[in-house]
Amino acid sequence: MTDILIVVAMAACTAAYAALAAAIPVLNIGDPLGPRAFPTLIAVGMGLSALLLLGEIWRARRRAAPSAPAQSQPPLGGRGILTLGAVVALFALYILVVEPLGFVLASAVFLMVCCTLLNRRAWRVHALVAVGLPLALYGLLAKLLMVPLPAGLLPF
Amino acid sequence: MSTFDAILQGFSVSLTPANLWFTFLGCLLGTIVGVLPGLGPAAGIGLLLPITFTMDPTSALIMMAGMYYGAMYGGSTTSILINTPGEAGSVMTALDGYQMARNGRAGAALAVAAIGSFIAGTIGIVALSLLAVPLAEVAIDFGPAEYFCLMLFAMAAVSSLTGSSVAKGMFATMLGLAVATVGVDLQSGLARFTLDVPQLEEGIDFLVVVVGLFAIGEVLSGIEQYLRGDTAVLRIQGRLWLTREEWRRSVGPILRGSMIGFFKGVLPGAGATISTILSYVLEKRLSKHPEKFGTGMIEGVAGPESANNASTCGVMVPLLALGIPGSATTAVLLGAFIMYGIQPGPLLFDTRPDLVWGLVDSMYVGNLMLLILNLPLVGLFVRILYIPKTILLPMVLAICLIGVYTINNSTFDVWLALGFGVLGYAFRKLDIPLAPIVLAVVLGGTMEQSFRRALSISDGSPAIFVSSGIAITLLIAALVMLCLPLIVALVARMRRRSRQAGGASVAH
């Protein structure tokens, strides 16, 4: 079942890419081939790979007909998926605030919340990491190696 | 200047105090990256690259190469002590290495991994020095058509060998090529696939893809694993050295593993990982006690670990001599070369012998440093494993943000990287290999250019791709690579048939 869904996703991806490729105007400047030919080939290759996967599924079905594929790991529970989603959301929030707040503050908040989300008990250690690591990284990169990082609200 | 002179000259580059320091730094960071969960050599180099923009290219490349082979040493440590390979090349090491650790021989397992890696690394560098120049000489007459065919072959090999399914590998390659076509087309000046987003006009930086797929995606997988329950870290027990008996048993596997690893590394494909599997299978077959493999046989650690390290030298051969990477990490290294305005390939040996041989010679020095770092100091690196994952993984995410942000000083790239991270996590679950994507993203631009240049030369006739023996050979080799799983299946079926037929005739 999952494999069929992958094929569907691959086909959708191919269609989207092919549609965008077809929209590239072909002008008679530059080389004879123009900017559309190579993307068209890629779209064809993508479509072929989706067909090939369909073929592979069909062959596998025929060989070992009804037995379900052995799942190596049980699916992650609802709570687990929620935690993973929360980490992704937190990272997105981190990207949003890193310029206005500055690297040090944004990272401190992100590290504190993210670590505590994964493990509620050790918040004292987390506070230490959340303050220490951003300061150390900022000192090393922005001050010593002159890599530009957003300073934000802090005066240094 | 003969090659031998050039090699000696290289030492005058690699032994300067500054370059010795960068070799050390690269090896140290590589070992750390190898030990850290959620970071591998590809992501590590990708994260380091933006902060080395202002450095001397030779020193920067020496440091990044050090990170690459250093990670191979570090990866074995986690395989042995927590049964979690730090990177793909150490998967086979975990089989017997972890069992040795459980039997109280962690010290011997770590020692044989480090010594084997050192010997293999040294053999590999000698072979690299000997093989790179002849290969570069073959490639010196390559035109755009031959280069296109060569890239096609490399991609076919990587798509076919890295995953369980050719279709998925091929899709990953096409996806990578598609990502590479985003941005303004160099020849016509038209914006392609930018969806009117101005930030996309310069294209998607390969570093964004690498950090997304290999660092952010890996952290998400790491969090999932943590949520499922963690494996305990085994303490290092026993002296960090081998008994005479263990030493005697390891010499053969180390030498055989070095050979397999190097030659497997030269051929594009899964390089390190496949060579470790081959070495493990070979040692098991040669052993008088194959049934004991998986219970802590030192041969099962010595062989694959050596193969793993020798392959890092092998993959440098096509990278330096042809400019063609055979794996995800070497694709990132190629991206680094290009970023410094250096095109690896046959001409590099003439134009920048100082860089090529300085880099190669730094690998001798680096391997020696790694032996020291990984034997007496292994206890120090193991401490990284005692840091809870709940702190390590968010830390890696914060480092990813800096790494990607500093490429263009924009949060747009970080958003893209997060997207690739989620994609990488999903692909890992769906068994779609990631290495072909990175390879295609890095090579895609050059590949399209050589495709179009070849057709400009021939006035649009595709016959140019079959106009030379080299091009035809490479095309056939690419086809064979794609059909390889099919051929293997067919041969197996025919054998089964003939055996059944044979059985039937006996029954009559």
Domain borders along chain B are 3-231+240-498
Euclidean distance between CA atoms B312 and B127, whole angstroms: 12
Distance from CA of B423 to the nearest CA of A (A): 12
Q: Which residue does chain B place closest to A109, by CA atoms? A: B398
What is the per-residue pLDDT across A83-105, written as a single tens digit (0 to 9) for each?
Answer: 999 999 999 999 999 999 999 99
Euclidean distance between CA atoms B314 and B135, whole angstroms: 12
Chain B partners of A39 at a C-beta cutoff of 8 Å? 178, 181, 192-193
Distance from CA of A156 to the nearest CA of B (A): 17
The number of C-beta contacts closer than 8 angstroms across A and B is 172
Confidence of residue A34 (pLDDT cuts 50, 70, 90): confident
Distance from CA of B192 to the nearest CA of A (A): 7
- Give φ, ψ of B145 to 5 degrees: -65, -45
**Are B400 and B417 a contacting pair, CB within 8 Å?**
yes
Residues 31-60 of A with CB under 8 A from B: 31-35, 37-39, 42, 45-46, 48-50, 52-53, 55-56
Distance from CA of A45 to the nearest CA of B (A): 6
Q: Which residue does chain B place closest to A141, by CA atoms? A: B51
Q: Which residue does chain B place closest to A97, by CA atoms? A: B411
Do the Cβ atoms of B390 and A115 come within 8 Å? yes
Do the Cβ atoms of B394 and A107 come within 8 Å? no
Chain B partners of A50 at a C-beta cutoff of 8 Å? 167, 171
What is the pLDDT, as a whole number, of residue B259? Answer: 92
Euclidean distance between CA atoms B84 and B92, whole angstroms: 11
Would the CA dihedral through B170, A17, B419, A1 be positive or negative? Answer: negative
Euclidean distance between CA atoms B483 and B477, whole angstroms: 10
H-helix segments, B267-314: 272-286, 299-314
**Are B337 and B285 a contacting pair, CB within 8 Å?**
no
What is the per-residue pLDDT across B330-370, written as a single tens digit (0 to 9) for each?
Answer: 999 999 999 898 989 888 988 999 999 999 999 999 999 99
A91 to A77, B415, B481: CA distances (angstroms): 22, 9, 40
pTM: 0.90
Chain B partners of A109 at a C-beta cutoff of 8 Å? none
A contact test, residue of B196, B402, B407 with most A CBs within 10 A: B402
Residues A135-154: what's their mean pLDDT?
A: 86
From the number of C-beta atoms within 10 Å of its C-beta (0-12, 13-18, 19+), residue B169 rates as buried
Instruction: Check if A125 contacts B (Cβ < 8 Å).
Output: yes
ipTM over 0.85? The verdict is: yes
Distance from CA of B179 to the nearest CA of A (A): 10
Do the Cβ atoms of A110 and B411 come within 8 Å? no
Residues of chain B with pLDDT under 50: 505-508
pLDDT beyond 60 at A132: yes
Rg of chain B (C-alpha set): 23
Chain A partners of B452 at a C-beta cutoff of 8 Å? 31, 33, 37-38
Instruction: Check if A83 contacts B (Cβ < 8 Å).
Output: yes
Q: Which residue does chain A place closest to B182, by CA atoms? A: A39
Of A99, A119, A145, the CB nearest to B51: A145
Task: Find the range with the poorest average confidence among A51-55, A123-127, B181-185, B266-270.
Answer: B266-270
Instruction: Check if A107 contacts B (Cβ < 8 Å).
Output: yes
Residues 126-145 of A with CB under 8 A from B: 126, 129, 133-134, 137, 141, 145
Instruction: Check if A114 contacts B (Cβ < 8 Å).
Output: yes
Confidence of residue A69 (pLDDT cuts 50, 70, 90): very low
- Give φ, ψ of B183 to 5 degrees: 120, -175
Chain B partners of A110 at a C-beta cutoff of 8 Å? 394, 397-398
What is the pLDDT, as a whole number, of residue A72? Answer: 55
Least Cα distance to B447 among B183, B177, B190 occurs for B177
User: How far does Cα A117 stand from its chain's mean position?
Assistant: 20
H-helix segments, B409-468: 411-429, 435-457
What is the pLDDT, as a whole number, of residue B501? Answer: 67
C-alpha angle B380-A133-B409 in degrees, rounded to nearest 5: 120
B contact test, residue of A1, A4, A14, A38 with most B CBs within 10 A: A38
Of B188, B418, B453, the CB nearest to A29: B188
Of A39, A87, A119, the CB nearest to B192: A39
Chain B partners of A119 at a C-beta cutoff of 8 Å? 388, 390
What is the pLDDT, as a whole number, of residue B502? Answer: 58
Do the Cβ atoms of B192 and A17 come within 8 Å? no
Euclidean distance between CA atoms B158 and B150, whole angstroms: 12
Do the Cβ atoms of B223 and A84 come within 8 Å? yes
Of A88, A111, A119, the CB nearest to B422: A88
Do the Cβ atoms of A25 and B190 come within 8 Å? yes
pLDDT beyond 50 at A68: no
Q: Which residue does chain A place closest to B452, by CA atoms? A: A33
Do the Cβ atoms of B406 and A13 come within 8 Å? no
What is the pLDDT, as a whole number, of residue B235? Answer: 75
A contact test, residue of B188, B225, B407 with most A CBs within 10 A: B188
What is the pLDDT, as a whole number, of residue B350? Answer: 87
What is the per-residue pLDDT across B409-453, written as a single tens digit (0 to 9) for each?
Answer: 999 999 999 999 999 999 999 989 998 999 999 999 999 999 999
Token duo for residue B163: 């995953």
- Give φ, ψ of B192 to 5 degrees: -115, 140
Of A24, A76, A134, the CB nearest to B190: A24
